[in-house]
Amino acid sequence: MNYKTSLIEIPKALIQKNNIEQIKKLSALKKAKNHILSGELVAFPTETVYGLGADATNGKAVKKIFKAKGRPQDNPLIAHIANLDQFERVVDTKIDNDLENIINTFWPGPLTVILPKSNLISKITTANLDTVGVRMPSHPVALSLIEITDRPLAAPSANTSGLPSPTRAEHVLDDLKGKIPLILGGGACKVGVESTIIKVEKEKIIILRPGGISREELAKISERKIVRKNNSKNNKPLAPGMKYKHYSPETKVFLYTGKKEKLHRYLKNNENKKLALVFTSETIDELKKRNEFVKNKNIKIIDIGSKTDLKSIANKLFYILRELDKSENEIIIVEKIPERGIGEAVMNRLYKAASEKL
């Protein structure tokens, strides 16, 4: 169906004050509620990335998410909740002390927990799995929407499948205009990469996707051993021409791993190409000191932030990739950053987005 998509901005002051009660009273939220309860989609801000929400108990509504994003039907969605009562209604399992501790520490926030599902959650949401990913987001607009509808909301990132996740309402509009009725605007997402997804087993926690909560933070709280399912070693940049693509702009992305000679050779051999170098402040300082490439008109240098502030790099990553995709760059070269803290999530996305290593 072709929708007339409205983007309604929620007042900044209410968001800054985390004023959920006032946000719930806005006419925008009432509109959003009517859409959700009549089985339609609403895009909304979370602290990680924008989500594309539908009532997770309504299979027919959830199907529309897959259609609007062009997402494969076998890729399950996360159910977003606003309180612990709702949590109990969407899962069917006993919560031990360790897990309770984890939840109390990190919720609301960028952590998704995979657990056996209850019958309340539609099988369409979980792509026929017996488990459901559950997350309590911290953005007040997300919490308001879940509370006002009193429904768990199935919500993937609100982008076209395969593209970088949206961290601004405008990105959602770029991808989904005409495909959904309503976007709630709530400013730039603070975290900027998606939630960490964990599966809690008897003796260990498996990180299925690194994200806003780091492995180190989890290890501080949990008594269980923390393991990563796909570590970066089997997640190397893909060979050129390979079909599988994720988090990736239309423009080709290369990963700069710090091999200066290789980079220099590449830049010299491709002098006539329009290149965007997304580098850390430290590396840019070095290039400037040596007066290298800074005067080449075909090379655009973008500062992604300091290596000493990985959170700020994570916050800018998807935004920068999307902005660069809008101008005429032929190749985007992004510098590797340390894989600790949220750097693990950043590098996980970059390994998937990149088609070559420099």
Residue with Cβ nearer ligand TXA (23 or 299)? 23
Query: Using the rule CB under 6 A, is 77 a contact of ligand TXA?
Result: yes
Q: Work out the angle at residue 276's Cα, subtended by the Cα atoms of residues 275 and 280, and round it to the nearest 5 degrees.
A: 140
- Structure tokens belonging to residue 306: 């300091």
Residue with Cβ nearer Mg ion (29 or 193)? 193
Instruction: For the segment 145-174, give every residue that binds Mg ion (CB under 5 A).
Output: 157
Give the Cβ contact number of residue 250 at 10 Å: 9
- Between helix 343-353 and helix 310-326 the angle, nearest 10°, is 30
Instruction: For the segment 290-319, give every residue that binds ligand TXA (CB under 6 A).
Output: none
Q: Give which of Mg ion, ligand TXA, none residue 222 binds (C-beta under 5 to 8 Å, depending on kind).
A: none
What is the rounded distance in angstroms from the CA atom of residue 277 to the CA atom of residue 334? 6
Query: Using the rule CB under 6 A, is 126 a contact of ligand TXA?
Result: yes
C-alpha closest to that of 190 among 65, 319, 62: 319
- Compute the residue count for the chain: 358
The binder of ligand TXA chosen from 36, 49, 238, 354 (CB under 6 A): 49
Residue with Cβ nearer ligand TXA (36 or 358)? 36
| Contact map string, positions 257 to 276, toward ligand TXA, x by CB under 6 A | --------------------
The binder of ligand TXA chosen from 33, 46, 54, 304 (CB under 6 A): 46
What is the rounded distance in angstroms from the CA atom of residue 259 to the CA atom of residue 257? 6
Query: Using the rule CB under 6 A, is 327 a contact of ligand TXA?
Result: no
What is the rounded distance in angstroms from the CA atom of residue 316 to the CA atom of residue 44? 19
Beta strand 275-280 pairing with 331-335: parallel
Binding site for ligand TXA (CB under 6 A): 46, 48-49, 51, 75-78, 110, 112, 114, 126, 129, 131-133, 135, 137, 155-157, 194-195, 197, 208
